[in-house]
């Protein structure tokens, strides 16, 4: 049972005060976003309408610790169909911002740079739609006894949405997603090819 003690009355205000969260209270729970969401097709626990309801109810711990809040890929199909003109991706981002402030870590796949393989060309920086990558000068261990100062891209784990555009762009395959590496995908394609016999 949800009783008074399990709620945090300030949570909804906290989300509304974060950039993008101001339209949270417009939601009248029609369910269009949930029915639209392509992520909901594969992960039924991701229900944006329900997450907004929980935020409004003040279920802070339950919302922020739930890995599904990191799933929204900001495709904005729901925004185009929302009758209350709420940009749900912005609301999700506001919820994530609160989560980060409160010390919760993102649980989704993010891009990871293999510093030794990176040539420092910067193509990933241009490719990233979320401006999550920037070039930094770091000491890179090339061999056990050799370190070199190089310009290497650094991924901001809070901004990265895990879309994988950078991995596909990188000419030397030096950047990959933490949970879906190139090797995993190649292995999946091989397995599929073997099974279908082609």
Q: How far is the CB of 88 from other proteins (least distance, A)?
A: 12
State which of residues 14, 47, 89, 176 lies at the interface with other proteins (CB under 8 A).
47
State which of residues 29, 65, 126, 136 lies at the interface with other proteins (CB under 8 A).
29
CA distance 82 to 32: 6
- Quote the DSSP letter at residue 106: P
99-105 long-range contacts, Cβ below 8 Å, gap at least 24? 99/64, 99/69, 100/158, 102/60, 102/64, 104/64, 104/65
Q: For 161, how many CA atoms within 13 A lie in the half-sphere containing its CB?
A: 15
CA distance 41 to 171: 33
- The span of 31-39, 54-62, 99-107, 109-117 binding other proteins (CB under 8 A) equals 31-39
- The span of 28-36, 65-73, 115-123, 131-139 binding other proteins (CB under 8 A) equals 28-36
Give the residue with the Cβ less far from other proteins, 31 or 129: 31
Residues that bind other proteins (CB under 8 A): 28-36, 40-41, 44, 47, 49-50, 78, 81, 83-85
């Amino acid at each position: 049972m949800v009783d008074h003690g399990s709620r945090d009355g300030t949570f909804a205000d906290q989300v509304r005060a974060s950039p993008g969260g101001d339209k949270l209270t417009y939601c009248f729970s029609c369910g269009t976003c949930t029915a639209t969401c392509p992520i909901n097709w594969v992960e039924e626990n991701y229900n944006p309408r329900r997450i907004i309801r929980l935020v409004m109810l003040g279920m802070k711990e339950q919302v922020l610790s739930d890995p599904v809040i990191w799933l929204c890929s900001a495709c904005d199909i729901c925004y185009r169909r929302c009758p209350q003109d709420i940009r749900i991706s912005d609301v999700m981002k506001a919820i994530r911002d609160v989560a980060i402030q409160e010390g919760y870590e993102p649980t989704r796949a993010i891009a990871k740079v293999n510093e030794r393989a990176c040539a420092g060309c910067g193509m990933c920086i241009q490719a990233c739609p979320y401006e999550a990558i920037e070039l930094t000068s770091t000491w890179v261990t090339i061999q056990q006894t050799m370190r070199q100062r190089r310009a290497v891209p650094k991924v901001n784990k809070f901004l990265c949405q895990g879309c994988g555009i950078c991995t596909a762009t990188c000419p030397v395959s030096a950047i990959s997603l933490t949970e879906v590496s190139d090797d995993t995908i190649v292995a999946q394609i091989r397995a599929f090819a073997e099974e279908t016999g082609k």
